[in-house]
Structure 1
């Protein structure tokens, strides 16, 4: 298969790099600044699973269309989705599979509107990684995992073909026959983590030590109730592990949304917290704590927008 990876940051760079390392035909669609850095020093991965320095094939954004790719891996942030759609559109064929790894669920509607239901798979990734000061990808201690499948459920030839390409890479890849369940569970966890750490402006351990474990559990109850009302109630094992993760007094985990707030950048607040509140409202499920967190981030975004216009 010919793969197009939209983005070469901590997520796209890691999964795309490991795929290239395993022998797949991979091309990265990247902005000019990132492209220049990758030409100069290569795609660098630092990881407990082994370091790598690769010379990636690069396709600059805005480049003329050539032969369509077989699969596109979308790894952008939600607030960059419109630009990502425009960037990948010239490189798609009628049979190209689009595998998005964005957080939440709202992006599925936008991708379907742009490209049609049949082209868009469901997917989630689990990885703890960041970009270092020299642009290197630093994979931390969480084992990387990528789950994907047909949104209508069941298997398909293209899912099996993708699974065969991903299997040799240095991450766990899991074809799922119920990918929406996987996506809802991650959405539940992420909305709770983002709501908790952004509202309290601290990491999980700091909040737990300050007496906030009950708030964490109450937020998880809210998001889980929304998922259940939508027909994708989290499984018991997932809920138990998530509750433990969100109330661990020794944990230093915080949502990337909090890091975005602290650096003064754009956030996925509307895409994650706002969408969870909206879905709860549509399903008559009250979410007062998540609503408070969504309002908190929305006020930040409004102030940020006002500063940019000033």
Structure 2
């Protein structure tokens, strides 16, 4: 079983090290600079229960000629259009492509290029990269959900390949529903924290609770119009996380924006807004958040010139 992990960010390394540690054959498709760091330091995961270091098998796009059984796509959204074409030599007749990105646009792109090969995938993990490019997993949470996107079930070997200690894997009977529910949550979280430029706890304390609830409602109206209305458990989880008094929670969009990094706003919020318009759903808070983020990114680009 040959596994190709596309991207060696925090998620890719955290998953790859777990798999390698338990005997899986893992290769990372990376850029030249990232390959140099992995060759120098290895693939390193610092987790709550300990530290793991393994040699990293790496490959750059010009060397990619062999086919792989499983391709895990774990890149930032901005790279997905390029990745869709770059992985072509690795896709064989039975290859399964499992993306771990938020939103839905990446699935549309991958499915258009590789029909019948793309599975639905979500991962819940809190991790970041350290100064040497190792993954630091901050909590024990490491849950993967996979599932078929059509009527054909996933081969059983996919779950078996991923199910290793430290990585909980479940197969969903309706992974599309799971993906839409997560998209609604991260959209609402991005709108709230980016629009009000703060943590959930501070926003609530400042009187923002009605606006938080409106952002959740907006997002859920969109997914409901897309015939994937959130189940009660998903709704309750969104409300609990985004309205918790004193919470230090912020979205990844907000953290990237605050750090002056390129964000995934267009992939997560921009595509969400586009689908909302197509479904005739009004999203005033989402639209305001997008303007705020786009203006900040224009300022960042102008400052860099």
Q: Output the TM-score relative to the length of structure 1.
A: 0.93
Per the TM alignment, residue 153 of structure 1 is displaced from its structure 2 partner at its CA by 4.7
Give me the whole-angstrom Cα distance separating, in 1, the residues matched to 2:255 and 2:279.
31
Q: Secondary structure at the match of 2:207?
A: coil
CA contact (8 A) 1:32 1:61 kept: no
**Aligned with 1:293: secondary structure?**
helix
| CA spacing shift, 1:153–1:195, aligned 2, 3 Å | farther
Unaligned runs of 5+ in 1: none
Cα offsets for 1:211-261 (capped at 9, x unmatched): 212211110011011111111111111111210110112222211111221
- Where do 1:72-221 residues align within 5 Å? 72-115=71-114, 117-141=115-139, 143-153=141-151, 155-156=153-154, 158=155, 160-221=156-217
Secondary structure, aligned partner of 2:161: helix
- Give deviations 1:185-215, integer Å, cap 9, x for gaps: 1101100111111111112222122221221
State the 1:83 CA deviation. 2.4
Q: Is residue 9 from structure 1 mapped to residue 9 from structure 2 by the alignment?
A: yes
Q: Deviations over 1:249-274 (max 9, x none)?
A: 22222111112212222211111111
The 8 Å contact of residues 32 and 60 in structure 1, kept in 2 or not, is answered as: yes
Partner SS state of residue 249, structure 1: coil
Q: Give, in angstroms, the shift of residue 15 of structure 1.
A: 1.0
| RMSD (Å), alpha carbons | 1.6
**How far apart in 1 are the matches of 2:244 and 2:134?**
30
Output the CA distance in 1 between the equivalents of 2:254 and 2:62.
32
Q: In the alignment, does 2:55 pair up with 1:55?
A: yes
SS at match of 2:133: coil
Please, which moves more after superposition, 29-38 or 80-89?
80-89
Alpha-carbon separation, structure 1, partners of 2:205 and 2:138: 24
SS in 1 for 2:146: strand
Post-superposition shift, 1:306? 4.3
Tell me which residue corresponds to 1:19: 19
In the alignment, the residues of structure 1 paired with residue 279 and residue 193 of structure 2 have an alpha-carbon distance, to the nearest angstrom, of: 25
Match of 1:290 among 265, 286, 291: 286
- In structure 1, how many angstroms separate the alpha carbons of the residues matched to 2:9 and 2:287? 30
The CA deviation at 1:17 is 1.3
The unaligned stretches of length 5 or more in structure 2 are none
Confirm or deny: 8 A CA contact 2:13 2:134 kept in the other structure.
no
- CA separation of 1:181 and 1:49: change in aligned 2, threshold 3 A: farther
TM-score, normalised relative to structure 2: 0.95
CA apart distance, 1:141: 1.9
Aligned residue pairs total 305
Report if the CA contact (8 A) 1:27-1:57 is conserved: yes
Determine the C-alpha separation between the residues in 1 that align with 2:107 and 2:239.
Answer: 27
Q: What per-residue deviation string (whole Å, max 9, x for no partner) do you get for residues 71-94 of structure 1?
A: 100001111112222332222212
Contact 1:153/1:179 (8 A) holds in 2: no
